[in-house]
Amino acid sequence: MEAQQASPDSSSEECTVLEALPGKGTALICSQHKGKVSALYCLACENPVCVDCMNGEHAEHPTDSLENIVDQHLAVLQDRVDSAKNRLPQIREAVQCLRDILQQLNSQRSSIEEDIHSSFSELHKTLDTRKSVLLMELEVTYGLKQKVLQAQLDTLLQEEAAINYSCSLTGEALDGGNKAVILQIHKDVGERLSDLASQGLPLQPEENDQLDLMMEIEGLRKSIHNLGTIVTTNAVASQTEASGDGLEQCVVGQPATVVITTRDKSGGLCKTGNAVISAEVCTPDGSVADGEIVDLKNGTYEFQYTVKKEGHFSLALRLYDQHIKGSPFQLKVTTNAASTGSSDGGARRRSAKSPGSRSRQKGVRRGGSLFSTPKKRVNPIEDDLIFRIGTKGRNKGEFTNLQGVAACSEGKILIADSNNQCVQIFSNTGAFQSRFGVRGRSPGQLQRPTGVAVHPNGDIIIADYDNKWVSIFSSEGKYKAKLGSGRLMGPKGVSVDQNGHVIVVDNKACTVFIFQPSGKLVTKFGSRGNGDRQFAGPHFAAVNNNNEIIITDFHNHSVKVFNADGEFLLKFGSNGEGNGQFNAPTGVAVDVNGNIIVADWGNSRIQVFDGSGSFLSYINTAADPLYGPQGLALTSDGHVVVADSGNHCFKVYRYLQ
């Protein structure tokens, strides 16, 4: 332990431990009495002292054994170290929470920025189209009027010329006085002159010169000035409160209400709506009750729910996925105000909806995990990188924001090279074979290809996010048709079911569409939200041997399974970095055994689940870490191919089925 050293100009005999006595091991010596062991501790001065010191200045001071004091100090220090260390998990959890929020905030900003660019690009396109229509309408209207007036003008000019010519010829004959000429002119021109004199000419204008433009610009200018708004609140879960009788008890079958009051970090009331609130009423066995959140637009929200059976329940209220004050609450459900009992409930989880609210998130691409130290995992299945293809660029075998991946039985790998507006095709061994695609917004052109699939007949199906349709090309890359135009808002992933139907995941509409290859809509399902049949930015789809459709629900951090008619079957996953958790899942594929392989975009990894959604393993990508994986597929030779978007390449891994 450190002791105080006496000031050089001090006359005090205060003792200070400076060194150990030679030959005495850890014994301490006194600085004032050389060679003397400091075996005591002055309780008054809080310093170690020797026997000579006790005969001097410290004679009347209480003392204790130095060894006892050191042991006491050691115990106190150890307790304080333990107390400090006990705070570390809380701090680390808070740090991770803040990093997650920052990550989501960043992804929200990027997503909104993309939407702003896209929306205004569409407005520019609409304005340019309207401009072209007006100019065309002007030309057509002008042409019709001009044709009528010009025809009338030409007729009058012809008549004027004919009269002038005939009169001139006749005048010359009259002036000459030649009888023979006069007789000839009378015979040749006289009747023509008579006709010209009596002919009814179109002397009044048969058209007018009106061409006006009416433009209601002022109203449009005001609309544009107020176009769009950024929606947010300052509400935080740690300050937000809930109140109402529905927090503690309710009656079976009767509606109960809880009022949620949002507050900012200082405890001040939030006075606007649009916060993302979720509520869940469940029993210990996990069953839940029906309920819905109503946004009152003044910073308060009502959670209205009904429980169908009596029992003891847990009521969880979350703001931005974090428990508010006091949550989860213990809820007692009775058949009336006086009786009690216990049983199960049944239910769904819902989120507050608000106009203009956004749930899009593209996650934060992380190598291992961008904001955390990668954890060493033990992988029960040895899956290794076989090869990687590509760098950033625009040439063959180079990519810029590759997204969708497909593989076919002919031993080909197809990559949707989004920002290069093309599809590139490789062999299973990574050899470049061909590419096709021309940038543009006309049928047969690609603006932002994001998803790719191969139909059993060999056709290549491409989801074009910006063109808002799905294009179909032959296996040689020749354009054949498009489908979904006018219905789709932002198609992301495509797949083909066992009936040959085309499954389209509309990322922007949060809906899954199923089309016949002819373009006829078979069915559609899904809407924006966090319910079982709802999505928040769904990405890709896969189909298993039972013709069940598996969808990655990006912002809800889960994978959902539906039958061919769109009926919900199951879901798995939650937000996190643990086994079976996701941070924005993207690509998905199914092996011959029905196991589900999922690209975990925000956690930059690939996980494997069984058909019921139980975690099995993950593919070992440590040798060459992924950075924001997107689409993935299983090749015909049984390997996993994944679009490593952040590294501008695709990778093929050995996969043991």
Computed over every residue of the chain, the mean pLDDT equals 83
Please give the residue that has the higher pLDDT: either 547 or 170. Answer: 547
Nearest to 101 by CA among 237, 303, 223, 274: 237
Report whether pLDDT(636) > 80: yes
Radius of gyration of the chain (CA): 41
Amino acid at 40: L
Q: What is the pLDDT of residue 376?
A: 37
- Determine which of 145-149, 240-244, 361-365 has the lowest per-residue pLDDT on average: 361-365
Q: What is the pLDDT of residue 544?
A: 95
Quickly state the pLDDT bin for 169 (edges 50, 70, 90): confident
Report whether pLDDT(304) > 60: yes
Please give the residue that has the higher pLDDT: either 378 or 482. Answer: 482
pTM (2 d.p.): 0.46
Q: What is the pLDDT of residue 640?
A: 95
Please give the residue that has the higher pLDDT: either 105 or 389. Answer: 389
Residue 436 to residue 125: CA distance in whole angstroms: 25
Q: What is the pLDDT of residue 349?
A: 35
Please give the residue that has the higher pLDDT: either 642 or 49. Answer: 642
Q: What is the pLDDT of residue 418?
A: 92
Q: What is the pLDDT of residue 592?
A: 92
Residue with tokens 């498009």: 482
* For residues 538-567, average pLDDT: 95
Calculate the CA 26 to chain-centre distance: 64
Report whether pLDDT(150) > 50: yes
Report whether pLDDT(381) > 60: no
Q: What is the pLDDT of residue 657?
A: 61
Residue 101 to residue 265: CA distance in whole angstroms: 15
Report whether pLDDT(347) > 50: no
Nearest to 211 by CA among 139, 154, 149, 150: 139
Report whether pLDDT(2) > 80: no
What are the strands, taking DSSP E only, across 245-363?
249-251, 256-261, 277-282, 290-295, 300-306, 311-319, 322-323, 329-334, 350-351
Q: What is the pLDDT of residue 356?
A: 33
Q: Domain 236-334: give its CATH code.
A: 2.60.40.10
Burial-class residue 406 by CB neighbours within 10 Å (0-12, 13-18, 19+): buried
Q: What is the pLDDT of residue 197?
A: 74
As given in the structure block, the two tokens for residue 163 are 């009269």
What angle do the packed helices 191-198 and 66-176 form, to 10 degrees?
A: 140
Tell me the per-residue pLDDT of 57-87, one tens digit each, with 9 for 90 and over.
888 888 888 888 888 889 999 989 988 888 8
* For residues 490-518, average pLDDT: 95
The torsion angles phi and psi of 92, rounded to 5 degrees, stand at -65, -40
- Determine which of 131-145, 251-265, 541-555 has the lowest per-residue pLDDT on average: 131-145
Tell me the per-residue pLDDT of 268-293, one tens digit each, with 9 for 90 and over.
999 999 999 988 887 666 666 668 88
For the stretch 630-646, what's the b/e string if a residue is b when 16 or more beta carbons lie within 10 angstroms of its beta carbon? Answer: bbbbbbeeebbbbbbbb
- Residue pair 404/452 in contact (Cβ under 8 Å)? The answer is yes
Quickly state the pLDDT bin for 371 (edges 50, 70, 90): very low
Determine how many CB atoms are found less than 10 A away from the CB of residue 310: 22
* For residues 150-155, average pLDDT: 88
Tell me the per-residue pLDDT of 393-410, one tens digit each, with 9 for 90 and over.
999 999 998 999 999 989
Quickly state the pLDDT bin for 612 (edges 50, 70, 90): very high
- Determine which of 496-500, 531-535, 614-618, 619-623 has the lowest per-residue pLDDT on average: 619-623
Strand partners, 642: 632, 651
Quickly state the pLDDT bin for 420 (edges 50, 70, 90): very high
Tell me the per-residue pLDDT of 558-592, one tens digit each, with 9 for 90 and over.
999 999 999 999 999 999 999 999 999 999 999 99
Q: What is the pLDDT of residue 565?
A: 93
- Determine which of 42-56, 115-129, 170-184, 267-281 has the lowest per-residue pLDDT on average: 170-184
Can you name the CATH fold of 385-653? Neuraminidase (2.120.10)
* For residues 635-648, average pLDDT: 92
Determine how many CB atoms are found less than 10 A away from the CB of residue 280: 21
Report whether pLDDT(505) > 50: yes
- Domain ranges, ordered by start, for the chain: 236-334, 385-653
Q: What is the pLDDT of residue 222?
A: 82
Please give the residue that has the higher pLDDT: either 362 or 642. Answer: 642
Report whether pLDDT(351) > 50: no
| H helices present in 495-614, as ranges | none
Residue 507 to residue 491: CA distance in whole angstroms: 6
Q: What is the pLDDT of residue 201?
A: 77
Please give the residue that has the higher pLDDT: either 558 or 107. Answer: 558
